[in-house]
Structure 1
């Protein structure tokens, strides 16, 4: 029985080593993906702003002076630059270790980056790169932070364009927030019409006479990950690579859980025999 447990331990050690290799591959893939995504976001933000100003509210845009237009365009470029920097900041290099509670786990020798920067409070999440469950959690957190960044830049862009006088001033803040939130709720969808724009029909009530309220159609920036990836061949390719790595991780994760179950059974059987007496 001791030999069986030792064999299972060797199998687990081998699986964990393979998971560490997958973790490094996954991090490298995400680093490249987020860099490409940052470039794509800047491009798509400018394109969406162009459509909003020229097709959504051309009269309002024409009312701006040349200097005002240039200031708006520069502010949009700056916003896209900041978004790209935030995406790159999602993944950091820092040494990670194993769960201290498991004394049988060997020391991790890799220095895989696994930090996640939360854009709201800058807290980080550190994963054990030999544990597939923690690695999946790391990946899911990274995707969530990415969506939050797209949501934030969509909202900031809409506020910026509204302050410039292109978007109607009468649009309340909750409407702009709702437009940005739609980006995360249906991020994988590709919508008809100009990319990364949201068309809404809302009811705006007259402040003095509520009976004069009516339906108003508005257009707002709504950066969607699915549409951004669809428009960029390199980004789409890198997303496919990430999916391929995750398939490998899921397979190893099943083996990892299976071997831990086998070890628990073998140890329980050994404990039974050790305590049994006639």
Structure 2
């Protein structure tokens, strides 16, 4: 027997209550996860840069003077502080976004683009405020936004690290940024066996001119290596972070199932409502 509109409304209300509970749970999980991710990302960045300078391009690194090495290392340390700010900033703002309506979320998320837009800690208290997200789709979108911003942040920081290494002429300054961008996209999310964590290797065909009776151009394959912070590799390297990531995956699976059931209930409600409207206006 088909459910009545009242019964379906009750079902929708149950899904909305479950969504509110899961929203608070995910908010806490992400907050803890992002703080751990920040620390691990800093460690992995320094390890990757160390490997580039001492194992892949040791000759180029040894050409630097003591002050030049200090400058490079200071730049990388500052970049680590930027990692902490960028990633933990998502943790601070996620509570505020989660407690906003859809319209308010658009404004808050746009503020994330401004590095100077800091959220006062006194304004963020997820346990004392009533979460406004009830629609599972809104919570799904919130999670997607956090995940996308993590990947965007890691990509941006990788580019900055490579720029510092190119300025120091550790990595060839002739490596086209467009080529590196394409390589990042191709390798995104993939972990190759034998690959050094958070380092990407490229084989690039270059032209070499030889001076003989006539100038000829010969092609040769040149190997380049660069920094590419990968979320999967950062998580894999830290057992505690891996456990936190698994908890988030469980939460994401829960909201996925709730979202599917909610959509089915919405569709059923629309059909029953349409049937009721048809009968109300039908006259023999």
Query: 1:223 maps to what in 2?
Result: 229
Match of 2:120 in 1: none
Count of aligned positions? 260
Any conservation in 2 of the 1:197–1:222 contact (CA below 8 Å)? yes
* Residues 210 and 196 of structure 1, relative CA distance in 2, 3 Å threshold: farther
Pair 1:89–1:248, CA change in 2 (3 A)? same
Aligned to 1:186: 188
Structure 1 portions without partners, runs of 5+: 100-110
CA distance in 1 between counterparts of 2:209 and 2:27 reads 53
Alignment deviations for residues 8-64 of structure 1 (CA, whole Å, 9 cap, x no partner): 212211210111111121122112111111111100000000000001110111111
Partner of 1:143: 147
> What is residue 7 of structure 1 aligned with on the other side?
7
Tell me the distance in 2 between the aligned counterparts of 1:52 and 1:59.
11
CA–CA distance in 1 between the matches of 2:174 and 2:216? Answer: 15
- 2:205 aligned with 1:203: yes
Q: Is the 8 A contact 1:151 1:181 kept in 2?
A: no
Distance in structure 2 (CA, Å) of the matches to 1:79 and 1:207: 38
1:74-85 counterparts in 2 under 5 A? 74-85=74-85
- Equivalent positions of 1:148-159 (< 5 A) are 148-159=152-163
How far 1:165 moved relative to its partner?
A: 2.4
- CA distance in structure 2 between the aligned counterparts of 1:236 and 1:116, rounded to whole angstroms: 27
Q: How does 1:1-278 map to 2 (within 5 A)?
A: 4-91=4-91, 92=93, 93-94=95-96, 95-97=99-101, 115-116=108-109, 129-182=133-186, 185-206=187-208, 211-278=217-284
Q: 1:155–1:180: 8 Å Cα contact kept in structure 2?
A: no
- TM-score, scaled relative to structure 1: 0.82
Q: CA RMSD in A?
A: 3.0
**Partner deviation per Cα, 1:228-250 (whole Å, 9 max, x = no partner):** 11101111111111110111112
Separation (CA, whole Å) in 2 of partners of 1:98 and 1:121: 20
Matched residue SS, 1:217:
strand
Q: Name which structure has the greater RCO, CA cutoff 8 Å, separation 6+.
A: 2
SS at match of 1:211: strand
After TM superposition, the score normalised by the length of structure 2 is 0.80
> Contact between 1:128 and 1:135, CA under 8 Å: does it hold in 2?
no
Contact 1:90–1:115 at 8 Å: present in 2 too? no
Q: 1:207 to 1:140 in 2, by over 3 A?
A: farther
Find the residue that maps to 1:89 and give its secondary structure.
helix
- Asked if the contact 2:209/2:217 (under 8 Å) is kept, the reply is no
Distance (Å, rounded) in 2 between the aligned partners of 1:24 and 1:186: 30
Q: Secondary structure at the match of 1:200?
A: strand
Counterpart-to-counterpart distance in 1, 2:162 and 2:250 = 36
